[in-house]
A and B are shown apart, each in its own frame.
Chain A
Protein backbone atom coordinates (compact mmCIF):
# COMPACT_ATOMS: atom_id res chain seq x y z
CA UNK A 1 0.00 0.00 0.00
CA UNK A 2 1.10 3.54 -0.61
CA UNK A 3 1.61 6.10 2.13
CA UNK A 4 2.74 9.73 2.29
CA UNK A 5 4.06 11.23 5.50
CA UNK A 6 4.48 14.92 6.27
CA UNK A 7 5.95 15.03 9.77
CA UNK A 8 5.37 18.73 10.43
CA UNK A 9 1.83 19.99 10.85
CA UNK A 10 3.01 23.55 11.39
CA UNK A 11 6.15 25.36 10.23
CA UNK A 12 7.03 28.99 10.86
CA UNK A 13 9.91 30.64 9.03
CA UNK A 14 11.15 34.23 8.94
CA UNK A 15 10.89 36.12 5.68
CA UNK A 16 14.10 35.70 3.71
CA UNK A 17 15.09 32.49 5.49
CA UNK A 18 15.28 29.12 3.72
CA UNK A 19 12.26 26.83 3.76
CA UNK A 20 12.15 23.05 3.73
CA UNK A 21 8.90 21.11 3.96
CA UNK A 22 9.48 17.42 4.50
CA UNK A 23 7.73 14.58 2.68
CA UNK A 24 8.45 10.87 2.85
CA UNK A 25 6.62 8.19 0.93
CA UNK A 26 6.13 4.46 0.88
CA UNK A 27 5.35 2.80 -2.45
CA UNK A 28 6.44 -0.45 -4.02
CA UNK A 29 6.31 0.80 -7.61
CA UNK A 30 7.93 3.69 -9.43
CA UNK A 31 6.58 6.80 -7.69
CA UNK A 32 5.22 9.94 -9.26
CA UNK A 33 5.17 12.72 -6.69
CA UNK A 34 3.57 16.13 -6.47
CA UNK A 35 3.32 19.13 -4.21
CA UNK A 36 -0.08 20.81 -3.98
CA UNK A 37 -0.67 24.17 -2.30
CA UNK A 38 -3.78 25.77 -0.85
CA UNK A 39 -3.64 29.51 -0.21
CA UNK A 40 -6.11 31.08 2.19
CA UNK A 41 -9.68 30.90 0.82
CA UNK A 42 -8.49 29.33 -2.43
CA UNK A 43 -8.76 25.89 -3.94
CA UNK A 44 -6.13 23.19 -3.85
CA UNK A 45 -3.78 23.64 -6.80
CA UNK A 46 -0.76 21.90 -8.23
CA UNK A 47 2.54 23.54 -7.32
CA UNK A 48 4.99 21.17 -8.95
CA UNK A 49 5.56 17.58 -10.00
CA UNK A 50 8.82 15.70 -9.79
CA UNK A 51 8.91 14.59 -13.44
CA UNK A 52 8.93 18.22 -14.59
CA UNK A 53 12.08 19.00 -12.62
CA UNK A 54 11.14 22.68 -12.72
CA UNK A 55 11.12 25.52 -10.23
CA UNK A 56 7.75 27.12 -9.51
CA UNK A 57 7.57 30.34 -7.47
CA UNK A 58 11.15 29.65 -6.41
CA UNK A 59 10.28 26.20 -5.01
CA UNK A 60 12.06 23.01 -6.03
CA UNK A 61 11.69 19.41 -4.95
CA UNK A 62 14.01 16.51 -5.69
CA UNK A 63 12.94 12.91 -5.58
CA UNK A 64 15.37 10.86 -3.50
CA UNK A 65 14.51 7.22 -4.03
CA UNK A 66 17.15 6.02 -1.59
CA UNK A 67 15.62 8.02 1.24
CA UNK A 68 12.07 7.78 -0.20
CA UNK A 69 11.75 11.53 0.19
CA UNK A 70 10.45 14.45 -1.85
CA UNK A 71 11.18 17.50 0.27
CA UNK A 72 10.05 20.94 -0.93
CA UNK A 73 12.64 23.71 -0.70
CA UNK A 74 12.94 27.42 -1.28
CA UNK A 75 16.09 29.40 -0.52
CA UNK A 76 14.42 32.66 0.53
CA UNK A 77 10.90 32.63 1.95
CA UNK A 78 8.41 35.32 0.97
CA UNK A 79 5.28 36.38 2.84
CA UNK A 80 3.05 35.18 0.00
CA UNK A 81 4.36 31.64 0.55
CA UNK A 82 2.18 31.31 3.65
CA UNK A 83 -0.24 28.49 2.82
CA UNK A 84 -1.10 24.84 3.39
CA UNK A 85 1.16 22.45 1.48
CA UNK A 86 0.31 18.85 0.64
CA UNK A 87 2.64 16.21 -0.71
CA UNK A 88 0.91 13.62 -2.90
CA UNK A 89 1.81 10.37 -4.60
CA UNK A 90 0.14 9.31 -7.84
CA UNK A 91 -0.41 5.69 -8.75
CA UNK A 92 -2.60 3.68 -11.07
CA UNK A 93 -5.37 1.77 -9.35
CA UNK A 94 -6.40 -1.82 -10.04
CA UNK A 95 -9.16 -0.29 -12.18
CA UNK A 96 -6.71 1.61 -14.39
CA UNK A 97 -7.38 5.12 -13.11
CA UNK A 98 -4.95 7.54 -11.55
CA UNK A 99 -5.29 8.00 -7.80
CA UNK A 100 -3.62 10.53 -5.53
CA UNK A 101 -2.59 9.65 -1.99
CA UNK A 102 -2.04 12.79 0.07
CA UNK A 103 -0.10 13.51 3.21
CA UNK A 104 -1.77 15.32 6.10
CA UNK A 105 -0.31 18.66 5.07
CA UNK A 106 2.01 21.28 6.54
CA UNK A 107 0.81 24.78 7.32
CA UNK A 108 3.62 27.17 6.46
CA UNK A 109 3.62 30.61 8.04
CA UNK A 110 6.12 33.23 6.95
CA UNK A 111 6.92 35.69 9.71
CA UNK A 112 7.51 39.24 8.38
Chain B
Protein backbone atom coordinates (compact mmCIF):
# COMPACT_ATOMS: atom_id res chain seq x y z
CA UNK B 1 0.00 0.00 0.00
CA UNK B 2 0.91 3.63 -0.29
CA UNK B 3 0.91 4.41 3.39
CA UNK B 4 1.08 2.95 6.89
CA UNK B 5 -1.94 0.74 7.43
CA UNK B 6 -3.42 -0.05 10.84
CA UNK B 7 -6.13 -2.48 11.93
CA UNK B 8 -8.61 -2.59 13.44
CA UNK B 9 -9.54 1.05 13.01
CA UNK B 10 -11.96 0.85 15.93
CA UNK B 11 -12.00 -1.56 18.84
CA UNK B 12 -14.28 -1.70 21.86
CA UNK B 13 -12.97 -3.96 24.60
CA UNK B 14 -14.43 -4.93 27.93
CA UNK B 15 -12.21 -4.16 30.90
CA UNK B 16 -9.89 -7.08 31.48
CA UNK B 17 -9.92 -8.22 27.87
CA UNK B 18 -6.72 -8.58 25.81
CA UNK B 19 -6.41 -6.65 22.54
CA UNK B 20 -4.00 -6.79 19.61
CA UNK B 21 -3.43 -3.89 17.24
CA UNK B 22 -1.71 -4.41 13.91
CA UNK B 23 0.53 -2.12 11.87
CA UNK B 24 1.59 -2.69 8.26
CA UNK B 25 4.48 -0.34 7.51
CA UNK B 26 5.45 1.31 4.27
CA UNK B 27 7.49 -1.25 2.36
CA UNK B 28 11.19 -1.00 3.09
CA UNK B 29 10.85 1.25 6.12
CA UNK B 30 13.35 0.13 8.71
CA UNK B 31 12.12 2.19 11.64
CA UNK B 32 8.72 1.66 13.26
CA UNK B 33 7.22 3.57 16.16
CA UNK B 34 4.11 3.22 18.31
CA UNK B 35 2.52 6.28 19.87
CA UNK B 36 -0.46 6.61 22.21
CA UNK B 37 -2.81 9.59 21.91
CA UNK B 38 -5.31 10.15 24.70
CA UNK B 39 -8.31 12.40 24.14
CA UNK B 40 -7.29 16.06 23.98
CA UNK B 41 -3.59 15.27 24.10
CA UNK B 42 -0.77 15.02 21.61
CA UNK B 43 0.72 11.66 20.66
CA UNK B 44 3.11 10.16 23.23
CA UNK B 45 5.94 7.79 22.37
CA UNK B 46 5.55 4.16 23.39
CA UNK B 47 8.21 2.09 21.65
CA UNK B 48 10.61 1.89 18.69
CA UNK B 49 11.78 -0.92 16.40
CA UNK B 50 14.71 -0.97 14.00
CA UNK B 51 13.87 -3.89 11.74
CA UNK B 52 12.93 -6.70 14.15
CA UNK B 53 14.87 -5.31 17.11
CA UNK B 54 12.92 -3.42 19.76
CA UNK B 55 15.55 -0.86 20.71
CA UNK B 56 13.49 1.48 22.88
CA UNK B 57 10.49 0.54 24.98
CA UNK B 58 10.88 3.34 27.48
CA UNK B 59 7.41 4.74 26.81
CA UNK B 60 5.38 1.61 27.47
CA UNK B 61 3.19 2.54 30.46
CA UNK B 62 3.11 -0.87 32.14
CA UNK B 63 4.05 -4.51 31.67
CA UNK B 64 0.56 -5.08 30.27
CA UNK B 65 1.79 -3.47 27.06
CA UNK B 66 3.84 -5.60 24.69
CA UNK B 67 4.97 -4.97 21.12
CA UNK B 68 6.64 -7.17 18.56
CA UNK B 69 7.89 -7.05 14.97
CA UNK B 70 9.21 -10.58 14.44
CA UNK B 71 10.18 -10.33 10.77
CA UNK B 72 11.03 -6.67 10.64
CA UNK B 73 7.86 -5.71 8.81
CA UNK B 74 4.39 -6.03 10.37
CA UNK B 75 4.18 -5.03 14.02
CA UNK B 76 1.63 -5.88 16.69
CA UNK B 77 0.93 -3.93 19.85
CA UNK B 78 -0.72 -6.08 22.47
CA UNK B 79 -2.43 -4.82 25.58
CA UNK B 80 -3.28 -7.38 28.23
CA UNK B 81 -6.04 -7.04 30.81
CA UNK B 82 -7.19 -3.70 29.40
CA UNK B 83 -8.12 -0.90 31.78
CA UNK B 84 -10.24 2.18 31.15
CA UNK B 85 -7.16 4.39 31.14
CA UNK B 86 -5.92 2.46 28.09
CA UNK B 87 -8.68 4.10 26.01
CA UNK B 88 -6.83 6.11 23.37
CA UNK B 89 -5.84 6.22 19.74
CA UNK B 90 -2.79 4.07 19.06
CA UNK B 91 -0.70 5.43 16.20
CA UNK B 92 1.87 3.51 14.25
CA UNK B 93 4.53 5.45 12.35
CA UNK B 94 7.35 4.36 10.09
CA UNK B 95 10.50 5.93 8.72
CA UNK B 96 12.89 5.02 5.95
CA UNK B 97 16.28 4.44 7.51
CA UNK B 98 16.84 6.18 10.80
CA UNK B 99 16.74 9.71 12.13
CA UNK B 100 16.42 12.66 9.81
CA UNK B 101 13.93 11.18 7.39
CA UNK B 102 10.23 11.98 7.37
CA UNK B 103 8.11 9.96 9.77
CA UNK B 104 4.82 8.75 8.26
CA UNK B 105 1.83 8.02 10.48
CA UNK B 106 -0.99 5.56 10.08
CA UNK B 107 -4.62 6.50 10.64
CA UNK B 108 -4.58 4.98 14.10
CA UNK B 109 -6.52 2.34 16.00
CA UNK B 110 -9.18 3.83 18.29
CA UNK B 111 -9.45 1.72 21.43
CA UNK B 112 -12.32 2.20 23.87
CA UNK B 113 -12.33 0.14 27.06
CA UNK B 114 -15.73 -0.16 28.70
A contact residues around B56 at 8 Å (CB): 93, 95, 97, 99
B62 sits at the interface (CB 8 A): no
A69 sits at the interface (CB 8 A): no
For A4, the closest partner residue in chain B by CB is B42
Total A residues in contact with B, Cβ cutoff 8 Å: 24
Bound Cα distance A91, B104 (Å): 17
For A34, the closest partner residue in chain B by CB is B103
Contact: B99 with A92, CB < 8 Å?
Answer: yes
Against A, the Cβ 8 Å flags (1 = close, 0 = not) of B27-57 are 0000100010000111111001010000110
A contact residues around B43 at 8 Å (CB): 44, 86, 100, 102
A contact residues around B102 at 8 Å (CB): 46
Bound Cα distance A25, B8 (Å): 34
For A99, the closest partner residue in chain B by CB is B45
Against B, the Cβ 8 Å flags (1 = close, 0 = not) of A28-66 are 000000000000001111100000000000000000000
Stretch among B15-23, B74-82, B105-113 lining the A interface: B105-113
Contact: B99 with A102, CB < 8 Å?
Answer: no
B contact residues around A99 at 8 Å (CB): 45, 48, 56
Contact: B42 with A97, CB < 8 Å?
Answer: no
Minimal beta-carbon separation of B102 from chain A (angstroms): 6
Contact: B42 with A105, CB < 8 Å?
Answer: yes
Contact: B105 with A43, CB < 8 Å?
Answer: yes
29 example contacts (A-B, Cβ-Cβ < 8 A) are as follows: A4-B42, A43-B3, A43-B105, A43-B106, A43-B108, A44-B43, A44-B91, A45-B105, A46-B102, A46-B103, A90-B99, A92-B99, A93-B58, A94-B58, A95-B55, A95-B56, A97-B31, A97-B98, A98-B31, A98-B95, A98-B100, A98-B103, A99-B45, A99-B48, A100-B35, A102-B42, A103-B42, A104-B41, A105-B41
Q: Which residue numbers of A lie inside 8 Å of B, CB to CB?
A: 4, 9, 42-46, 86, 88, 90, 92-105
